[in-house]
Amino acid sequence: MDQTLDLNGVLVRPGHLDRPAQEAMLADILRVQAEAQPFHPVTRWGKAMSVAMTSAGRFGWVSDRRGYRYEERHPSGLPWPPIPPSVLAVWDAVVPGARPPECCLVNLYREGARMGLHQDRDEADLSQPVVSISLGDEALFRVGGIERGGPTASLWLRSGDVAVIGGPARLVHHGIDRVRAGSSDLVPGGGRINLTLRVVT
């Protein structure tokens, strides 16, 4: 890794994973998805999200009319699969010294899916970073400030890129404006898989 980009305090490492590493990680994530089927969470207001989600680790992130929260079981009632070693290795490489992650949220963006600006603030220890790994189609990543409504900066994330949201930028607003369909042939059926690793407790 010879380059790190600073996007409003979010540190992006372009091309952190080469193609063979991406393919190996994708195989691990497809096994996670087979064990814990992706689902479309519903917001507090009853609207289904455009992004399909599942998780690995001790906790998974869920949303329904009761709100956003972490749960120890998939909506099917089964425990979440373990976080694959290939994913844990990225955490260890980019945030050495951080506590081990307890959740790997797996977001599947098919064509037309997006994620509005939000903060990752459902975790108990906000001194711990969030690490994001991009696989598949390119996505326009937008980062704002701690307060909503300020200026934002954007960057196209490509397959193999890794971003670290931590330190003073831990609570910045961020989101995915759009996905460039067909820009990668990595994910079966097309689209983008985003992995976000978090310490929950």
Contact 122, 68 (CB under 8 A): yes
Residue 56: other Cβ atoms inside 10 A: 27
Any binding-site annotation on 195?
A: yes
Any binding-site annotation on 193?
A: yes
Any binding-site annotation on 133?
A: no
Any binding-site annotation on 158?
A: no
Any binding-site annotation on 7?
A: no
Any binding-site annotation on 18?
A: no
Any binding-site annotation on 194?
A: yes
Any binding-site annotation on 197?
A: yes
Any binding-site annotation on 109?
A: yes
Instruction: Give the CA angle between residues 196, 52, 156 to the nearest 5°.
Output: 55
Any binding-site annotation on 16?
A: no
Any binding-site annotation on 122?
A: yes
Instruction: Give the CA angle between residues 183, 35, 44 to the nearest 5°.
Output: 75
Determine the Cα–Cα distance for residues 64 and 86; give it in Å rounded to an integer.
Answer: 30
Any binding-site annotation on 165?
A: no
User: How does strand 174-180 pair with strand 115-118?
Assistant: antiparallel
Any binding-site annotation on 148?
A: yes
Question: Which residues are annotated as part of the binding site for substrate?
Answer: 61, 68-70, 122, 148
Question: Which residues are annotated as part of the binding site?
Answer: 61, 68-70, 107-109, 118, 120, 122, 148, 174, 192-198
Question: Which residues are annotated as part of the binding site for 2-oxoglutarate?
Answer: 107-109, 192-198
